[in-house]
């Protein structure tokens, strides 16, 4: 980012005014560095795909990848300051422009995600009524597949099982509505995978409890 200076002037031998910088404007320098530090933090929150699209210099890219996985402690802040210093050496306007376009695209994709999510929830909760309404709007959709996925998702919810069919239904609807920005949904998929793992841990715990109860019953009988 460009430095802002305080200027003074004098006249040269031809009587022309010649300006020269006296010293950098320290207040402006602090503001510029604060903007770059905020930019460093914002980039650390991006997905791998989003970060790659910024086309950062290699040293900055590696540092941002490293800082994104660090806890919020002193080491992380020091690395963010390093990134800030490196950003201060390059032209950051192209990066800011790409981020702005990314935000606009992401906001649009999030709205589409909410539309897909609402239809998925309606299909599971309302069944054929919601399916009929959806097919009126999208007559080329596969009725049988949608019905089967909806029923399976409903059964999973009732049995408190991992929502695998619900996820498949969501992805089918996403493709049906032609939601194109895969990067926006990376976190959603990671969250769903985490949910499945948590459900599996819960079932293992429940199975362990059942085994313990059986052992206790056997001891009481003895």
All structural domains of the chain, each given as residue ranges with its CATH number in brackets, are: 5-90 (no CATH), 105-221 (1.10.60.30)
Extract the residue ranges of the chain whose pLDDT is less than 50: 2-4, 183-191, 193-195, 197-217, 219-222
- CA dist 107 and 111 (Å) reads 6
Q: Which residue carries 């948590």 as its tokens?
A: 198
- CA dist 144 and 151 (Å) reads 11
> What percentage of the chain carries pLDDT values higher than 70?
69
Q: Is 8 helix (H, G, I), strand (E, B) or coil?
A: strand
Q: Is 14 helix (H, G, I), strand (E, B) or coil?
A: coil
pTM above threshold 0.75: no
- CA dist 221 and 210 (Å) reads 17
Q: What are the helix (H) ranges across 15-142?
A: 26-44, 48-53, 58-68, 74-87, 93-126, 128-137
Q: What is the pLDDT of residue 212?
A: 46
Torsion region of 15: left, alpha or beta (phi above 0 gives left; psi -120 to 50 gives alpha): left
Helix axes 128-137, 93-126, angle to 10 degrees: 130
- CA dist 198 and 26 (Å) reads 52
Q: Is 147 helix (H, G, I), strand (E, B) or coil?
A: helix
Closest listed residue to residue 141, CA positions, set 185, 182, 177: 177
Q: What is the pLDDT of residue 39?
A: 95
DSSP 4: P
Q: What is the pLDDT of residue 72?
A: 82
Task: Please say whether the beta carbons of 77 and 63 come within 8 A.
Answer: no
């Amino acid at each position: 980012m460009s430095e802002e200076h305080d200027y003074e002037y004098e006249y040269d031998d031809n009587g022309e005014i010649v300006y020269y910088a006296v010293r950098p404007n320290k207040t402006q320098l602090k503001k510029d560095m604060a903007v770059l530090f905020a930019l460093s933090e914002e980039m650390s929150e991006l997905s791998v795909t989003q970060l790659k699209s910024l086309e950062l210099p290699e040293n900055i890219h590696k540092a941002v990848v490293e800082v994104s996985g660090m806890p919020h402690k002193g080491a992380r802040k020091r690395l963010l300051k390093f990134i800030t210093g490196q950003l201060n050496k390059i032209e950051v306007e192209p990066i800011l422009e790409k981020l702005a376009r990314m935000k606009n695209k992401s906001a649009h994709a999030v709205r589409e995600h909410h539309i897909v999510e609402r239809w998925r929830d309606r299909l599971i909760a309302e069944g054929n009524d919601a399916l009929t309404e959806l097919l009126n709007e999208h007559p080329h959709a596969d009725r049988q597949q949608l019905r089967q996925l909806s029923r399976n998702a409903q059964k999973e919810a009732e049995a408190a099982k991992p929502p695998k069919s619900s996820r498949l239904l969501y992805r089918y609807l996403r493709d049906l509505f032609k939601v194109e920005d895969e990067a926006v949904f990376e976190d959603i998929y990671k969250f769903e995978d985490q949910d499945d793992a948590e459900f599996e841990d819960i079932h293992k715990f429940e199975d362990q409890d059942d085994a313990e109860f059986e052992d206790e019953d056997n001891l009481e009988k003895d």
